[in-house]
A and B are shown apart, each in its own frame.
Chain A
Amino acid sequence: MSTSTGGAIFKTALIALILTLLPLPAWLAILRPEFLVLTVLYWSIQAPFAGGIGLGWFSGLLLDAFQGPVLGEHALAVALVAYLGVHEHQRIRTKPLLQQSLMVFAVLVLYEFVLFAVDGWSGHPLTTPLRWVPTATGALLWPAVAALLSRSYRPRT
């Protein structure tokens, strides 16, 4: 199972990265949820020992390479998301989707706060309230993302 899960993780993470980087009109780009973070969170909850924190860290490093003002910023934030997912996977997995969305919202807010803090600390402050929009859209889209991701590997197990 672990190889097929690994393959599914790799494929879905790649698709999420593409969705994150796809050029979009400005207003849509502001609404765009952090697909890669949602994917990492999903796998941390569903298969906590397959990808885990390393997956989160490397995904974050990729985000840094493409869009981080400071190397290591997203790596830290996504690793935190993965850690929370792994640590709380039993608690989150058993909840209905609506409650899951609320928990995901909390995790995403924490993620965005880490970015916000590091941005400010490193001298690239971005204080507009618009930066918090993706946390809301991410939480709203969580049920859809979770459903899609669960299809990516269920049939093989």
Chain B
Amino acid sequence: MAFFGTRGSARNRGGAAGFRFFLYALVSIVLMVLDQRLDWLERIRYGLQAITYPVETALNSPVTAWRWIKSDFAARDALEAENQRLRTRVRDLEIRSLRLEAVEAENAALIGLKKALPPVAERWLPADIVNIQFGGLRQRILVDRGARNGVFRNQVVLDDYGVVGQTMHVGPWSAEVLLITDPDHDLPVQIERTGYRTIAVGTGDPQAIALPYLPANADIRVGDVLVTSGLGGVFPSGYPVARVTHVHPGAVQPLARVQAVPFAHLETDREVTLLWFRQSSPAAPLKENGGQLTSGVPAAQPLPAPKPSTPAPMCTPASGGPAPARPAAPAQLPGAHAAVKPKASSPPGGPRKP
């Protein structure tokens, strides 16, 4: 290193280094602001996903190969047992869904709808988990389906047991999924037993989500089931999320007061399911601005105020419809869920139908 010059020139270079650092820092900050505030970096993100996906697939290939070898040499007995187990499960689910159809029809009749509603899920697509990113702190996974498969931002991701999370950055062949246990993720949920709505926040631990916003006297017990509430514009209502495991109303840390363990097998899943929803279904997630949430985590966007009249339309006849509904509201909307749809609450919808 001796030939790097005299002390004087080294000092000059030191000054230049400071200047260059200043420039680079400026560029970084501009990048961060653009990425944070504006949408057009999403195009660059799309390109970046296209570049990083092959690398991550390659890096994960030893794991994939190991699994493949293991499953290839799996004993015949194990396979038969698994087959048996799956067959039992399918039969069980079929029997339950028979009952479900009956219940759905009954429910539709009760809430005054003319015919049974189509199921809220329209299409689904299995996706393999390619990579679990960020080690243990951030809870994100990469799946092998992207925009080429029709995947979009903020799409619902489930596994066989419950809600897994939602897509974030979508590339052409891959998508990043933010798990419900990520500290960034806020999920509007409902306590199934009481119907009380609150927000479940990720803790960074794949075995726990927390309910920090419950009042101290909230009616919640260990064993209560949390389901999605349908608010927030991403998840439709009624999907199982987690079971409450700890209730410590006096805990100092808000995240420690009520904790629940997700139903989804977030740590052991190899495959997840992406869902597309029928927008016409009353159980579909509630959307604002036509679903175009511009920034941030959509689940964290301000929720529309719940209508005080929610239980009222239970007994109104189908023809009348709830009072706040606009004339433009589609005919199939009246019903228990119709009052939750923001038809009357969205200001941008106002001038559209004079």
Contact = CB atoms under 8 A, between A and B. Distances in A.
A126 B296 contact: no
Given A29-B136, A49-B4, A66-B56, A83 B184 contact: no
- Per DSSP, chain B at the interface is helix
Nearest to B60: A23
B222 interface: no
Nearest to B132: A23
A72 B32 contact: yes
Interface stretch (B10-18, B119-127, B191-199, B243-251): B10-18
A7 interface: no
Contact of B133 (A54, A56, A67, A75): A67
- Residue picked from B1, B20, B34, B135, most chain A C-beta under 10 Å: B135
Given A72-B28, A72-B31, A87 B17 contact: yes
Given A72-B32, A72-B35, A66 B296 contact: no
A54 B21 CA distance: 8
A109 B48 CA distance: 28
A135 to B, nearest CB: 14
Contact of B17 (A21, A47, A71, A86): A86
Contacts of A83: 17-18, 20-21
Interface residues of A, number: 47
A65 B44 CA distance: 10
Contact of A57 (B24, B63, B137, B297): B24
B303 interface: no
A73 B59 contact: no
Interface string A40-64: 0000001111001110110010000
Contacts of A29: 134-136
A112 B187 CA distance: 28
Interface string A80-117: 10110011001000000000000000000000000000
Given A71-B32, A72-B35, A24 B21 contact: no
B90 interface: no
Interface size bracket, B side: 35 or more
Nearest to A47: B1
Nearest to A29: B135
B18 A76 contact: no
Given A123-B184, A124-B184, 11 more contacts: A30-B137, A48-B4, A66-B52, A69-B138, A70-B36, A72-B27, A80-B25, A83-B18, A86-B14, A122-B36, A131-B137
Interface of B: 1, 4, 10, 13-14, 17-18, 20-21, 24-25, 27-32, 34-36, 41, 44-45, 48, 51-52, 55-56, 59-60, 63, 131-138, 183-184, 204, 296-297
30 contacts: A23-B131, A24-B135, A30-B136, A30-B137, A46-B1, A49-B13, A56-B24, A57-B28, A65-B48, A66-B55, A67-B133, A67-B138, A71-B41, A71-B44, A71-B45, A72-B32, A72-B35, A75-B27, A75-B28, A75-B31, A76-B28, A79-B21, A82-B21, A83-B17, A86-B14, A87-B14, A87-B17, A123-B36, A124-B183, A126-B204
